Amino acid sequence: MSTTTITISQGEDLAKDLSSQDRALIADARRKWDSDATLRAEFCDNLEAYLAYERARASGKIRVLGEKQ
């Protein structure tokens, strides 16, 4: 399994080799992150951990109880 490390700065620098689906996931996650202090607290202000969680959820590797599929 290969992994891609993404560093998100204020300017949201993204690696060029990301798929458009991954870019969309990151953009959506970033909007949620920026607008939700509770979410940031849940992930201890660790955006990279939140992005990893969102990628795993989107790929079906994890499920959230009560979430409709």
pLDDT for residue 50? 96
Mean pLDDT estimate for the chain = 81
Does 13 map to a domain?
no
Look at residue 25 and tell me if it is in a domain.
yes
Please tell me the total count of domains within the chain. 1
Asked if residue 68 is part of any domain, the answer here is no
**3 within some domain:** no
pTM score, whole prediction: 0.69
DSSP line for 2-66:
--------TT----TT--HHHHHHHHHHHHHHHH-HHHHHHTTT-HHHHHHHHHHHHTTSS--TT
Residue 46 pLDDT grade (very low, low, confident, very high; cuts 50, 70, 90): very high
Q: Does the residue 10 lie in any domain?
A: no
pLDDT tier at 43 (50, 70, 90 boundaries)?
very high
For the segment 20-40, what is each residue's pLDDT rounded down to a tens digit?
A: 888 899 999 999 999 999 999
- 38 domain residue, yes or no: yes
* 45 in a structural domain: yes
**Residue 38 domain boundaries:** 20-58
Domain membership of residue 48 (yes or no) is yes
